[in-house]
Amino acid sequence: MYTHRSISDLRNKLSCGEVTCTEIVSSYLKQIENKKHLNAFIEVYAAEALEKAKSLDQKLKTPNSWGKLFGTVIGIKDVLCYKDHHVGAASKVLENYTAIYNATAIQKILDEDAIIIGNLNCDEFAMGSSNEHSSHGRVLNAWDETRVPGGSSGGSAVAVQANMCMVSLGSDTGGSVRQPADFCGIIGLKPSYGRVSRYGLLAYASSFDQIGIFAHGVEDAALVLEVIAGADEYDSTCSSSPVPNYISSLNQKATFKIAYFPECLEHPSLDQEIKTNIEQRIRELRSQGHTVEAVGFDYLDFIVPAYYILTTAEASSNLSRYDGVRFGYRTDAPVDNLQDLYKKSRSAGFGKEVKRRIMLGTFVLSTGYYDAYYAKAQQVRRLIADQTKEIFKSYDLLLMPTTPSTAFKFGEKSNDAVEMFLGDLYTVYANLAGIAAISMPMFKHSNGMPFGLQILADKMKESTLLQFSNQAMHQMKHVE
């Protein structure tokens, strides 16, 4: 069986004839079959992946003709359009929908000779933190199958965690890449808003959504980012700033100025063991020559409410297109008029969590409440952005927990929406501010579960983020 270490190691193995792409794909297909009960995949493109592997194998003797992701086996979240394949956002509303074009990120990985092995389960329309809200059923955390994998990109996390693919793509609107990565013990990278084109990503909240990457190592995440980042004429919010060569700076040793918010570490919802582990890591970073300083942050209590007001508002607008006429499931029940058709189709098509958010979003945008909620939340977002800008004038990076707890048990929070929302305390900040963030698997809790350290960097400063993360991960391997 092929054991993945990194994409560069894969390249070496392929070029010296140790393995072929066909053997690799077969080995992943076997693992997907063995781990089927985890429910990470919605569809497995077995025949197609083998076909692609066969065609890549024709080029084995000419490594200079290989794309950057030659032979890399990738899974994609069910919110990314892959031409002629089903894409459904794990919703009944899109159960019969087939993508008619490639998302830019998908086109880019295909152009670099990646092999897409299937699409991955998630919370419906990427709304959730536990993967308990999917029309395809829940995904199990391979570390402990009684626990949630996190969400919304739970399938993407578990597919990498349980070695069913080498890397995967997810989307992160308020933590959906970093939180499941934390719960599953792998790396989750959310690039800055505008770093990766959103063209072909089914929208949840457009001013927050960003495609992210799950990987076992920082190097793989950096390489995939290098491929998928960059300007795109199909997404006007995508930045035209040049994409650096992330790999080349990855191994340069440096010391950094790092800030942390004491409010985050003192928060009553934070698990005490997570707190003490992070405090210990702060001391270690200082002893390694980094500057790590406490910086006050005024808005911690406002970030979850601001996030849920703004994202639900955007979602209520984005999801209005699924009305059974323009897009999406249409009811078979008899209807009296057009309004009735919309009502019956949407009531039957959307799940509970999505409906909750559409209603919340419609409410905060409605006349009479717009100023009190939506406009206020926009102002809070601006204050957060301004304070963030100030912090990054003096610091390279920011450090905080990824989540207040380790992966929880199924059902533990599913009846309490507010409690579930509060678990997003540390992840939504990066999306409100539009900055880059990563969760690195660094710790193990006494309950047996892994958890991560979250590092954030200013907009478009992924190079710094990845350089530090790579260094930190290597040092950790050295220590353990």
Catalytic residues: 77, 152, 176
* 464: contact with ligand GLN by CB under 6 A: no
For the bound state, the minimum distance from the C-beta of residue 176 to ligand GLN, rounded and expressed in Å, comes to 3
Applying CB under 6 A, among 118, 149, 175, 434 the residue interacting with ligand GLN is 175
CA–CA–CA angle 196, 236, 426 (5° rounding):
45
**Total residues found in the chain within this entry:** 480
* 172: contact with ligand GLN by CB under 6 A: yes
CA distance 405 to 31: 29
Q: Which helix (H) or strand (E) holds 43?
A: strand 41-44
- 131 closest CA partner among 101, 93, 90: 90
* Token pair listed for 357: 């958010």
Strands 73-77 and 167-171 turn out to be parallel
* Token pair listed for 94: 């899109």
| C-alpha distance from residue 213 to each of 205, 310, 354, 438 (Å) | 19, 24, 24, 9
**Radius of gyration for the alpha carbons in the chain, expressed in angstroms and rounded:** 22
For the bound state, the minimum distance from the C-beta of residue 436 to ligand GLN, rounded and expressed in Å, comes to 15
Applying CB under 6 A, among 75, 128, 191, 452 the residue interacting with ligand GLN is 128
* 180: contact with ligand GLN by CB under 6 A: no
Among the residue ranges 123-131, 134-142, 439-447, 467-475, the one whose residues contact ligand GLN (CB under 6 A): 123-131
Q: How many residues bind ligand GLN (CB under 6 A)?
A: 14
Based on CB atoms, which residue is closest to ligand GLN, 110 or 127? 127
Taking CB atoms, the residue at the shortest distance from ligand GLN is 176
For the bound state, the minimum distance from the C-beta of residue 428 to ligand GLN, rounded and expressed in Å, comes to 7
For the bound state, the minimum distance from the C-beta of residue 300 to ligand GLN, rounded and expressed in Å, comes to 17
- Helix axis angle for 21-34 and 46-57, nearest 10°, is 160
- Stretch 296-335 residues interacting with ligand GLN (CB under 6 A): 311
Q: What is the pattern of x (binds ligand GLN, CB under 6 A) and - over residues 200-239?
A: ----x-----------------------------------
Among the residue ranges 120-128, 233-241, 277-285, 448-456, the one whose residues contact ligand GLN (CB under 6 A): 120-128
- Stretch 411-450 residues interacting with ligand GLN (CB under 6 A): 424
For the bound state, the minimum distance from the C-beta of residue 450 to ligand GLN, rounded and expressed in Å, comes to 19
DSSP class per residue in 258-316: EEE-HHHHH-TTS-HHHHHHHHHHHHHHHHTT-EEEE---S-HHHHHHHHHHHHHHHHH
Contacts of 169 (CB under 8 A, 6+ apart): 74, 75, 76, 77, 80, 105, 109, 156, 211, 212, 213, 214, 224, 228
Count of CB atoms situated within 10 Å of the CB of 348: 15
Based on CB atoms, which residue is closest to ligand GLN, 79 or 292? 79
Based on CB atoms, which residue is closest to ligand GLN, 431 or 463? 431
For the bound state, the minimum distance from the C-beta of residue 313 to ligand GLN, rounded and expressed in Å, comes to 13
Based on CB atoms, which residue is closest to ligand GLN, 89 or 221? 89
* 116: contact with ligand GLN by CB under 6 A: no
* Token pair listed for 107: 């086109």
Applying CB under 6 A, among 71, 88, 149, 174 the residue interacting with ligand GLN is 174
Based on CB atoms, which residue is closest to ligand GLN, 238 or 315? 315
CA distance 1 to 15: 18
* 127: contact with ligand GLN by CB under 6 A: yes
For the bound state, the minimum distance from the C-beta of residue 407 to ligand GLN, rounded and expressed in Å, comes to 14
CA distance 364 to 366: 6
* 185: contact with ligand GLN by CB under 6 A: no
Residues that bind ligand GLN (CB under 6 A): 126-129, 152, 171-176, 204, 311, 424
